[in-house]
Amino acid sequence: MPPIPLDKQQVLDLYFLEHRAKLLDLAAFLDRYDRAGGAGDFRIEVFREAVKILSEDAPERARRVQEAFSDHSIEPIPTAPGKGAVGAQPPAKSGGTPSDAETSDSNGRGAL
């Protein structure tokens, strides 16, 4: 297995500014959402829960963020409701439905 060849200082030197900018993007996205009108849907709550994982002092944050957005049911669904995925699994009782769930690009995003 090829371990990461960089030490912590090198990781900071190589990636800090890039990920500082990405963190600001996350913050600005949440601010933008708060400023917008309307009700939104379940995805923002899943997103907020996933953000909490970033602050945990534990390994494999990326895997746990992926799992936070995932469908954990086991059985196949009766019929496909469309082709697209919206990025987060709705809770059993959802407050809203993404409006673009019926279309997708080849990449699985909810809207072209």
Partner 1 sequence: MKYIDPHIHMVSRTTDDYHNMALAGCVAITEPAFWAGYDRSSPQGFYDYYRLLTETEPKRAAAYGINHHCWLCINPKEAEDPAFAREVIELIPEFLDKPGVLGVGEIGLNKNSKNELTILEEQIALAAKHNQLVLVHTPHLEDKLKGTKLIIDAIKRNGTIDPGRVLIDHVEEHTVDLVLSEGFWAGMTLYPDTKCTPQRAADIIEMCGTERLWINSAGDWGHSDPLAVPKCRLEMKRRGHTEETIDTISYHNPMKFLSQSGKFNAG
One-letter amino acid for residue 5 of the chain: P
User: How big is the CA angle at 65 (ends 102 and 45), to the nearest 5 degrees?
Assistant: 60
- As given in the structure block, the two tokens for residue 23 are 């963190």
Q: Kindly state the smallest distance separating residue 100's Cβ from partner 1, in Å.
A: 13
Give how many residues touch partner 1 by CB under 8 A.
39
Count Cβ atoms within 10 A of the Cβ of residue 86 and give its class: 0-12 exposed, 13-18 middle, 19 or more buried: buried
Asked if 3 is part of the footprint of partner 1 (rule: CB under 8 A), the reply reads yes
Asked if 9 is part of the footprint of partner 1 (rule: CB under 8 A), the reply reads no
Radius of gyration of the chain (CA): 18
User: How big is the CA angle at 94 (ends 90 and 24), to the nearest 5 degrees?
Assistant: 60
Asked if 13 is part of the footprint of partner 1 (rule: CB under 8 A), the reply reads no
Given candidates 70, 94, 97, 99, which one binds partner 1 under the rule CB under 8 A? Answer: 70
Given candidates 21, 36, 80, 92, which one binds partner 1 under the rule CB under 8 A? Answer: 80
Given candidates 35, 77, 92, 93, which one binds partner 1 under the rule CB under 8 A? Answer: 77
Residues that bind partner 1 (CB under 8 A): 1-6, 14-15, 60, 62-63, 66-67, 69-74, 76-83, 85-89, 104-109, 112
